[in-house]
A and B are shown apart, each in its own frame.
Chain A
Amino acid sequence: MFPRPIQKSSRAWAATYQALIPMALVLWLLPLIAVAVFSIKPDADFTTGNYWGWPSAFKGFENYGKVFFASDMPRYLLNSVFITVPTVIGAVALSCMTGFALGVYKFRGNLLLFFMFVAGNFVPFQILMVPVRDLTLDLGLYNTKTGLVLFHVAFQTGFCTLFMRNFIRALPFELIEAARVEGVAEWRIFWYVVLPLMKPAIAALAVLIFTFIWNDYFWAVVLTQGAESQPVTAGITSFNAQYRAAYHLMSAGSIVAALPPVAMFFLMQRHFIAGLTLGAVK
């Protein structure tokens, strides 16, 4: 283990270390802690200039209540759910199949197709912006959640294929060969042999894609406008325009917008990290 385990060094240093971690953490998260404190402060604290002092009163319920009951926030949140969940399902389903095809079969152009997915996944969004916006307009899907979902599914398929294909490659190939010797149809091999083994990959991808799509801002701005279809990342900017200088409400709104992926991360931590760090270890 590197660095040398703290238990093996002097007592004094071990104690210092134990005290150092929480301090470092507080420093690291200071901007976030500030927002969390802002979100429970009363309005008056900001007009009297008490930005960084102790809240003069606890107004958490009022502030968050306002976010949930007196603004478009619930609508934006719901939009985000209706954009994120179908995208996760779509991208994972498509990439299970593409990953299976690219990971299991040998055929001409396999690597080329795989690299097409990988390269496409690295492309800067802006080069897609005008044509995708056009395509969405032509399909009559501009400013709809469906339009956003279709694009996200397509784009995320690139990353998901990379992920799935590498995962499937690491599975024991003998299983598939054994099934073939038995004469099992290919789609049955996919469904009954490979898919059950892919559960951890599916879980990891699902949480990752959920976070990516929930936090997407660029495409939300390009393909939607207005409260009827915009997700919460774009909604928060109009929310903030509505409550300009009402820092307690803007903070509460931001926290609400940021919470779902955070919850997802803490609930599915193992999968999340396994997904993010795939390939970080040989």
Chain B
Amino acid sequence: MSDRLMPQSERAPSWIRRNRQAMAPFLFLLPGVLFFLFYVIFPVIQSFNLSFYRWDGLGEPVYVGLENYTELMDDRAFEVSLWNNFKWLFLYLLAIPAGLAIALFLNQNVIGIRLYKSLFFFPFVISQVVVGLVFSWFYDPSFGLLNQILGFFGFGTLNVLGDPTLVTYGIIAAGLWPQTAYCMILYLTGLNAVDPEQVEAARLDGAKGLRMLWYVIIPQLRPATFIAFVVTIIGALRSFDLISIMTNGGPFGSSRVLSFYMFEKALSEYGFRMGYGAAIAVVLFLIMLLFIGYFLWSMYQEEKGGR
């Protein structure tokens, strides 16, 4: 590293000239870092701090110590939201195998396959607001397509979004639609780069079907799987749009997740509870931090391997 920091010419006349290579990175970083500090890093710290206060967003915040957190302990709605978050986390991961399955199905060379691939990817490009709307009609008990199909097979009507036990699963299913598309495109790219010689060699050894997939293909898809994992976890914990559009947390708050409950508390129509909202956000952040830590650790391992 020393040779890069050395001034490149011996006759360097001025201080600026001599040090410009050492200074350059800081000048390039300055605007981006400032923006990021003010809008992302400091707010995280402020939220932590705010979670120890009671504040309606207008008057003076009152320091209450851990009161917000002790209140969370007895808050039924918080418990429901937290539990729903785990459902989201767990079930959202289904997008990864589903995406792989579709990618395997589409990984062929037939006429028009490129168009098919893009059309399969389609749901990811549309906004979650529209996805939510589309799926709330799909589930509609009076005319929704789902109940038309169920009726066709002789089943009774299912009011997915009105049933407290089903509602979260219904919304997760809607979320899986674009997420699966995303994982699919990751795996299609990954499959494209699978080493054909290894596949041929394995074929000569008599490997095929699921065994081939498990022992030869999936290990080679590791980078794609890692990214699919990262984006799916983040997507699951960020889920807000769909809930807001499809049920607004209902019925009876049974489809809330932490991100939605926090929003509701902090900016509710019954008065702003910023401190309490911040405490909820901190809990969500801490869950996320486990994963962020893991992601960064994996990236760090890779950086050490690199130049």
Given contacts A115-B296, A280-B186, contact A101 B29 (CB under 8 A): yes
* Cβ of A122 under 8 Å from chain B: yes
Question: Which chain B residues border A187 with CB–CB below 8 Å?
Answer: 24
| Cβ contact within 8 Å between B38 and A122 | no
Question: CA A153 – CA B234 in complex, angstroms?
Answer: 20
Nearest B-chain residue to A211, judged by Cβ:
B125
B 236-295 contacts with A by CB, 8 A: 237-238, 240-241, 244-245, 258-259, 262-263, 266-267, 274, 277-278, 280-282, 284-285, 288, 291-292, 295
* Cβ of B165 under 8 Å from chain A: no
| Cβ contact within 8 Å between B288 and A122 | yes
Cross-chain contact of B129 among A7, A123, A233 (Cβ < 8 A) = A233
| Cβ contact within 8 Å between A155 and B40 | yes
Number of interface residues of B (CB under 8 A): 110
Question: CA A233 – CA B128 in complex, angstroms?
Answer: 9
Question: Which chain A residues border B110 with CB–CB below 8 Å?
Answer: 6, 17-18, 21
Question: CA A261 – CA B128 in complex, angstroms?
Answer: 12
| Cβ contact within 8 Å between A32 and B134 | yes
| Cβ contact within 8 Å between A280 and B223 | yes
Size category of the A interface is 35 or more
* Cβ of B33 under 8 Å from chain A: yes
* Cβ of A107 under 8 Å from chain B: yes
* Cβ of B108 under 8 Å from chain A: yes
Cross-chain contact of A183 among B4, B9, B128, B182 (Cβ < 8 A) = B9
* Cβ of B73 under 8 Å from chain A: no
| Cβ contact within 8 Å between A52 and B145 | yes
Question: CA A33 – CA B53 in complex, angstroms?
Answer: 49
Cross-chain contact of B29 among A113, A181, A254 (Cβ < 8 A) = A113
Question: Which chain B residues border A269 with CB–CB below 8 Å?
Answer: 118
| Cβ contact within 8 Å between A153 and B35 | yes
| Cβ contact within 8 Å between A280 and B145 | no
Question: Which chain A residues border B182 with CB–CB below 8 Å?
Answer: 276
* Cβ of A229 under 8 Å from chain B: no
Question: CA A218 – CA B127 in complex, angstroms?
Answer: 12
A 3-28 contacts with B by CB, 8 A: 3-7, 17-18, 21-22, 24-25, 28
Per-residue CB contact flags for chain B residues 30-53 toward chain A (1 = under 8 Å, else 0) read: 011101101111111011001000
| Cβ contact within 8 Å between B292 and A119 | yes
| Cβ contact within 8 Å between B39 and A151 | yes
With both chains docked as a complex, state the minimum distance between the C-beta of B76 and any C-beta of chain A, in angstroms. Answer: 20
Q: Interface on A for B, CB 8 Å cutoff? A: 1-7, 17-18, 21-22, 24-25, 28-32, 34-35, 38, 49, 51-52, 94-95, 97-98, 100-102, 104-107, 110-111, 113, 115-120, 122-132, 135, 150-151, 153-155, 157-158, 161, 169, 180-181, 183, 185-187, 190, 211, 214-215, 217-218, 221-222, 233, 236-237, 240, 247, 250, 254, 257-258, 261-262, 265-266, 269, 273, 276-277, 279-282
**Apart from A17-B108, A217-B241, A265-B118, what are 13 other A-B pairs with CB-CB below 8 Å?**
A25-B120, A31-B177, A34-B134, A35-B134, A95-B32, A98-B32, A115-B300, A125-B240, A130-B46, A130-B274, A258-B130, A273-B189, A280-B227
Q: Interface on B for A, CB 8 Å cutoff? A: 1, 4-5, 8-9, 20-22, 24-26, 28-29, 31-33, 35-36, 38-44, 46-47, 50, 57, 104-110, 113, 116, 118-123, 125-130, 133-135, 137-138, 143, 145, 148, 177, 182, 185-186, 189-194, 196, 199, 208, 212-213, 216-217, 223-224, 227, 230, 234, 237-238, 240-241, 244-245, 258-259, 262-263, 266-267, 274, 277-278, 280-282, 284-285, 288, 291-292, 295-296, 299-300, 303, 306-307
